Structure formats: C-alpha cells, structure tokens
C-alpha cells in the first residue's frame, strides 16, 4: 500500500460518491483501499463469484460481460474511469452479476465488501450517489431492452456507437475516435446482431462518410448523421 500513500486525495475527491467528503474522510478511504493494475484482457472480477471486493476504476476502460449457458456473450455496458464497479451490496447481492474485463491497461482501487455498510453509514452522500449510479444502470438496462424489443438493427448499432462515442472518445483530425479497442465482434455482442450485419452496416456507413473503422478502432466522422440514424432520444430520457 506504500505506493498508494503517495496518491493525492485529489485522485478521488471529484468523483460523485466522494465529492461531499472532508479531506480526512478521503484519506481514511484511500488508506483502506488497495490499488491494483490489470492489463488488457484480464478479468477484474467474474460473474457468479462471491463479491468479496468492490472497485473504483481510476484509469482505463472496462467491459461488463454476461455469458449464457450456450456460451453467447453479451456486453452489458462499458465502464470508464471514475465509476464504481462490482458494487453487489448496493443491489443486495453476494455474487457478481457479470464479469468485468479490462479493455486496455487499467488502474483500480478496491475495498473489501464488508466495508460497504461502513461507507454507507459513515460517509455523507456516499449512499445517495451510489444509488443514483444503480438507478442509471437500471435505466440503461431498460433502454437497452426497449431498443432490442422495438428497434431495427441499423438503429440499434447506430445507438450503440453513438453512446460509446459520447461516453469515451478523443477528438482527432478524422473525428470522434472511440478511445478504446472496439472490434466488430464487440459491437455485435453489444447489440444482439450478427457479425455479418455489423460489417455490412459499417461498410455502408463508411461509404456515406459517417464512420471509419479499423480492426479495433471506430471513428465517428459525422456525428449529426449518426444521430439521425440512431433517432436520438426516442424515450425522452436517455
């Protein structure tokens, strides 16, 4: 933990669940944390395993994956830096409901799950902010259901790319580059679509100047057109 002591309180003081806390509380929380690095492809936690720790992603990108018994994978969401993950106790669970896999090199802090109740009881605003996070994830899941149930595949893929581009991008000369590795297979697992369909759509959109894509890279080159394809905000609250 010596490397952590050199980390400044500013590292987490801006993150919503910790934003209302005094410096002394933040120091206490950091002292109870263990930092850990994961490299691309490593599992941070696994679906169905006992949720012995909860995590804060400080740097990097994480893919949340669920797998059916038949072996089909669905990407439930992406987590970007500043988000809590593996917060099973916030939803009354003792096992992780999904797996979390590092997409690129990640730095996380983790705490033993038995500290969760302490954090909730002791730190002002921690509970409220984390339940807000839980609520946002329910909304996301419900929007995903609406999309899968009512939208055509073209719209679903457009919305998935749009959401990722807004959530996590770097601006380049080409346009908004989604700033972590993203393959066509990943996109198919996010949208319940075949790899063939994703490839067909991306090729068509590339010809129309809406996106460009490489092996693990997607750049949105015309955000306006992508929004039109996605028919943004059909639910009024997404």
Residues near a copy of itself, by CB under 8 A: 48, 66, 68-70, 72, 74, 76, 88-93, 95, 97-98, 128-129, 131-139, 141-142, 144-146, 148-150, 189, 191-192, 233-237
Q: How far is the CB of 186 from a copy of itself (least distance, A)?
A: 13
Measured from the CB atom, the residue of 173 and 233 that comes closer to a copy of itself is 233
CB of 212 to a copy of itself, least distance (A): 26
Q: Which residues contact 126 (CB under 8 A, 6 or more apart)?
A: 17, 18, 21, 119, 120
Least distance in Å: CB of 176 to a copy of itself? 25
The Cα-based distances of 163 to 8, 67, 77, 169 in angstroms read 31, 22, 10, 10
DSSP lists the bridge partners of residue 99 as 65
DSSP 55: E
Do residues 64 and 99 lie in contact, with contact meaning Cβ atoms separated by under 8 Å?
yes
Helix (H) or strand (E) holding 76: strand 73-80
Residue 137 vs 200, nearer CB to a copy of itself: 137
Strand partners, 219: 177, 212
Q: How far is the CB of 236 from a copy of itself (least distance, A)?
A: 6
How far apart CA 227 and CA 95 sit, in angstroms, is 37
Closest CB to a copy of itself among residues 73, 167: 73
Give me 68's structure tokens.
């059916």
Residue 147 sits at φ, ψ, to 5 deg, of -65, -50
- Residue 95 CB, nearest approach to a copy of itself (Å): 8
Which is nearer to a copy of itself, 61 or 144 (by Cβ)? Answer: 144
Give the sheet arrangement for strand 211-213, strand by strand.
Answer: 169-171, 176-178, 218-220, 211-213
| Complex with a copy of itself: residue 90 or 107, whichever CB lies closer | 90
The tokens for 78 are 């992406």
Quote the least distance from Cβ 233 to a copy of itself, whole Å: 7
């Amino acid at each position: 933990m010596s490397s952590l002591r050199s980390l400044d309180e500013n590292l987490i003081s801006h993150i919503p669940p910790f934003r209302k806390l005094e410096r002394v509380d933040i120091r206490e929380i950091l002292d109870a944390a263990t930092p850990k690095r994961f490299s691309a492809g490593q599992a941070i936690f696994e679906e169905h395993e006992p949720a012995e720790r909860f995590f804060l992603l400080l740097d990097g990108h994480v893919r949340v994956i669920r797998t059916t018994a038949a072996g089909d994978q669905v990407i439930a969401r992406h987590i970007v830096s500043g988000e809590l993950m593996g917060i099973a106790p916030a939803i009354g669970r003792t096992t992780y409901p999904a797996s979390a896999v590092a997409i690129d090199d990640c730095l996380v802090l983790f705490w033993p799950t038995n500290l969760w109740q302490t954090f909730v009881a002791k730190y002002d605003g921690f509970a409220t902010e984390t339940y807000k996070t839980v609520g946002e994830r329910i909304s996301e899941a419900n929007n995903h259901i609406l999309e899968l149930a009512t939208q055509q595949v073209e719209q679903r893929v457009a919305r998935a790319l749009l959401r990722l581009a807004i959530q996590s991008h770097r601006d380049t000369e080409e346009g908004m580059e989604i700033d972590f590795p993203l393959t066509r297979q990943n996109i198919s697992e996010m949208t319940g679509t075949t790899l063939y369909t994703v490839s067909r759509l991306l090729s068509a959109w590339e010809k129309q100047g809406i996106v460009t894509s490489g092996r693990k890279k997607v750049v949105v080159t015309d955000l306006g057109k992508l929004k039109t394809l996605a028919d943004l905000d059909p639910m009024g609250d997404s």
